C-alpha cells in the first residue's frame, strides 16, 4: 500500500513511534558514554594516587595502545622513565616489576581515553548518517566530540609538565584536565536528560532554575579545587576535622605574594578553600531543598532537591573520611567518583527545569 493511502492519523502515530524509538537508542548510547567517562575518571584518579601518571613518557595516539610485548620492549620503556626527574629523585632503584605496576595504571587510563573516542564517534556517525539523530542534536554532539579531542591534547600537555623539571605534573594542568573531563560529562548529561521523558508536572520558575544552575557551578568549582588539592598533595597534611591546624581559619593562608598565588600553590590555603566551598555547597543545597519543598511540595522537582541534598551530605562525609584517614586509595576514589555522580545529578536536575525536548514537527510536512 502506498504511503499516501495510509490515513494521516496512522502516519502521525507511526512517525511519533519512530522518533521515540530513536530517542531510546540515543539515550542508551549516551548512558554508555557516561559510564565509560566515569570509569576513565576513576582510573585517572587511581593513576594520580599511585603516582603512575609519568610512567609513559611519550605520546603515541595510535601506536601507544600496544603495551610492551617482550623483555626488550619493557626495558626500553623503563629506560625512558629512568631519564625523567621522578625516577631520579623519588623512585631511583625501583625494579622493573615495580615499574610495571605503575605503567599499567597509566596505560589503562590512556586506552580507556582512546576507547571513549570510539564509543562516542562511531555511534554518533551511525545515528547521524542514518537519520536517527534529530537535527538540533547533531552539532552540539559534534562539539562534544571535538572537546574530547582537545581533552586528549590537554592530557599530554599535563603529562609533559612532569617530564623535565618537576617530579609530578603541574597542579594547574591537572585541574584543567579534570575540569574539562567534567565539562564533557556535564554536556553529555545535559543532552541525555533533555531526551528523557519528563513528569509533565508544571515547571518551576526562573528562580528555581537559576538556583539549580548556581548549585551546578559550585559542584564544578569544588571538583576543580579538589584537583588542585590532589596536584599539591594537600590532603596528606592537616588531617583533622572540623578544625584545620587547630583553628577554623588557620594561620599561614596568605604567606605567598602576590596574594592570589596562595589559592593555587599554597597547599594549606588550597585545602582550606576546598573545605569552605564544601560548606557553601552544603548550605546552598539545603536552601534549594527547602525552597523546592515550600514551593513545589509533592513534585518530582522537590523530590530531586531532597535526594540531591542527601547525596551532597554523603559526599561531604566521604570527603571528611578521606581527609582524616590520610587519603586511602579506596576511600579517595569513592570520593572522586561520587563527585562526578553529584555533578551529573546537578546537571540533570537543572536540565529538568527546562522540560523535555519537544518532538520534531516535521510530521505535517511529510503528510
Query: Could you report the per-residue pLDDT of 225-247, keeping only the tens digit for each?
Result: 999 999 999 999 999 999 999 99
Domain boundary among 146, 164, 196: 196
Q: Angle 135-160/171-195 helices, nearest 10 degrees? A: 160
Domain match, 89 and 225 both = no
Domain match, 305 and 185 both = no
CA 284-287-291 angle, to 5 degrees, is 140
Query: Could you report the per-residue pLDDT of 98-128, keeping only the tens digit for each?
Result: 999 999 999 999 999 999 999 999 999 999 9
Average of pLDDT values for 10-14?
A: 68
Domain boundary among 168, 196, 224: 196
Domain boundary among 196, 213, 243: 196
Give the pLDDT confidence score for residue 366 in this predicted structure.
39
Q: Has residue 3 got a pLDDT over 80? A: no
Average of pLDDT values for 177-203?
A: 93
Give the pLDDT confidence score for residue 5 in this predicted structure.
54
Domain extent, residue 187, equals: 7-196
Domain match, 179 and 128 both = yes
Give residue 8's pLDDT band: very low, low, confident or very high (50, 70, 90).
low
User: Is the pTM of the predicted complex or chain greater than 0.85?
Assistant: yes
333 falls within a domain: yes
Q: Has residue 330 got a pLDDT over 80? A: yes
DSSP states of 90-118: IITT--HHHHHHHHHHHHHHHHHHHHHHH
Q: How far apart are CA 313 and CA 279, in angstroms?
A: 10
Domain match, 180 and 286 both = no
Average of pLDDT values for 26-36?
A: 97
Domain match, 163 and 304 both = no
Domain match, 211 and 89 both = no
Amino acid at each position: 500500500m502506498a504511503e499516501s493511502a495510509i490515513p494521516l492519523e496512522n502516519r502521525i502515530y507511526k512517525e511519533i513511534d519512530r522518533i521515540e524509538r530513536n530517542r531510546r537508542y540515543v539515550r542508551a548510547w549516551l548512558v554508555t558514554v557516561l559510564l565509560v567517562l566515569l570509569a576513565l575518571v576513576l582510573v585517572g584518579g587511581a593513576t594520580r594516587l599511585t603516582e603512575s601518571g609519568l610512567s609513559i613518557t611519550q605520546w603515541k595516539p595510535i601506536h601507544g595502545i600496544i603495551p610492551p610485548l617482550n623483555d626488550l620492549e619493557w626495558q626500553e620503556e623503563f629506560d625512558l622513565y629512568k631519564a625523567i626527574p621522578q625516577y631520579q629523585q623519588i623512585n631511583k632503584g625501583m625494579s622493573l616489576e615495580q615499574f610495571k605496576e605503575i605503567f599499567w595504571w597509566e596505560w589503562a587510563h590512556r586506552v580507556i581515553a582512546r576507547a571513549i573516542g570510539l564509543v562516542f564517534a562511531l555511534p554518533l556517525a551511525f545515528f547521524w548518517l542514518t537519520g536517527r539523530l534529530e537535527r538540533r542534536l547533531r552539532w552540539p554532539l559534534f562539539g562534544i566530540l571535538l572537546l574530547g579531542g582537545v581533552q586528549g591534547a590537554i592530557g599530554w600537555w599535563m603529562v609533559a609538565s612532569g617530564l623535565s623539571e618537576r617530579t609530578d605534573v603541574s597542579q594547574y594542568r591537572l585541574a584543567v584536565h579534570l575540569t574539562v573531563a567534567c565539562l564533557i560529562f556535564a554536556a553529555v548529561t545535559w543532552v541525555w536528560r533533555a531526551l528523557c521523558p519528563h513528569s509533565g508536572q508544571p515547571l518551576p520558575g526562573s528562580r528555581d532554575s537559576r538556583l539549580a544552575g548556581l548549585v551546578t557551578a559550585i559542584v564544578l568549582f569544588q571538583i576543580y579545587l579538589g584537583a588542585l588539592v590532589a596536584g599539591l598533595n594537600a590532603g596528606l597534611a592537616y588531617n583533622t576535622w572540623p578544625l584545620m591546624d587547630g583553628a577554623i581559619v588557620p594561620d599561614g593562608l596568605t604567606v605567598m605574594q602576590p596574594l592570589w598565588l596562595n589559592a593555587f600553590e599554597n597547599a594549606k590555603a588550597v585545602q582550606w578553600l576546598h573545605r569552605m566551598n564544601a560548606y557553601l555547597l552544603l548550605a546552598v543545597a539545603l536552601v534549594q531543598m527547602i525552597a523546592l519543598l515550600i514551593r513545589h511540595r509533592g513534585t518530582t522537582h522537590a523530590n530531586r532537591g531532597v535526594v540531591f541534598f542527601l547525596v551532597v551530605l554523603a559526599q561531604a562525609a566521604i570527603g571528611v573520611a578521606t581527609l582524616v584517614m590520610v587519603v586511602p586509595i579506596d576511600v579517595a576514589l569513592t570520593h572522586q567518583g561520587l563527585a562526578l555522580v553529584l555533578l551529573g545529578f546537578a546537571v540533570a536536575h537543572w536540565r529538568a527545569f527546562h522540560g523535555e525536548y519537544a518532538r520534531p514537527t516535521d510530521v505535517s510536512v511529510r503528510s
